[in-house]
């Protein structure tokens, strides 16, 4: 009685093609952010991991290295997962291969 007939009418049907296009346009910024994230963060990190693995695989006895803990030493023994480094005359420390951060040029450690 107090409700006008305009409120009781149904809304006009939206075009089906417009819904798909609007949903794709709303997902476009998310997709664009993922692509940027891949090229800015993920890809360089994967490249760095690959370089680190190849450096660790190429270690040889007598190489001078720096470890993650800050030790400088010369590789004295190599194993599959572990290596021994000589950090001073007669002082050897055994550690994981993955703890090696950098291989120094020969003659860097006096």
Nearest 10 degrees: CA dihedral of 87, 92, 98, 103?
40
Which CATH number does the domain housing residue 93 bear? 2.30.30
Mean pLDDT, the chain, whole residue set: 87
Full domain range(s) for residue 70? 60-104
Q: What sign does the CA torsion over 86, 91, 96, 100 have?
A: negative
pLDDT band for position 56 (50/70/90)? very high
State residue 1's pLDDT score: 60
Q: Are residues 67 and 96 in the same domain?
A: yes
Asked if residue 82 is part of any domain, the answer here is yes
State residue 62's pLDDT score: 93
Q: Is the pLDDT of residue 15 over 60?
A: no
Asked if residue 84 is part of any domain, the answer here is yes
Instruction: Give percent of the chain above pLDDT 70.
Output: 84
Q: Are residues 71 and 92 in the same domain?
A: yes
Q: Are residues 66 and 100 in the same domain?
A: yes
- What's the pTM? 0.68
State residue 95's pLDDT score: 95
Q: Is the pLDDT of residue 12 over 80?
A: no
pLDDT band for position 109 (50/70/90)? confident
State residue 82's pLDDT score: 96
b/e sequence 82-100, b meaning 16+ C-beta within 10 Å: ebbbeeeeeeeeebebebb
Instruction: Give 18's contacts (C-beta < 8 A, 6+ positions apart).
Output: none
State residue 5's pLDDT score: 59
Asked if residue 10 is part of any domain, the answer here is no
Nearest 10 degrees: CA dihedral of 9, 15, 19, 25?
-120
Q: Cβ–Cβ contacts within 10 Å for residue 38, how many?
A: 11
How many domains, the chain? 2
């Amino acid at each position: 009685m107090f409700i006008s007939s305009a409120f009781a009418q149904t809304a006009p049907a939206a075009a089906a093609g417009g819904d798909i296009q609007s949903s794709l346009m709303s997902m476009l910024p998310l997709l664009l952010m993922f692509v940027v994230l891949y090229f800015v963060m993920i890809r360089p990190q994967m490249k760095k991991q690959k370089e680190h693995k190849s450096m660790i695989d190429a270690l040889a006895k007598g190489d001078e290295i720096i470890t993650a803990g800050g030790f400088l030493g010369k590789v004295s023994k190599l194993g599959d997962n572990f290596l021994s480094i000589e950090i001073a005359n007669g002082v050897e420390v055994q550690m994981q291969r993955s703890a090696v951060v950098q291989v120094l040029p020969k003659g860097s450690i006096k």
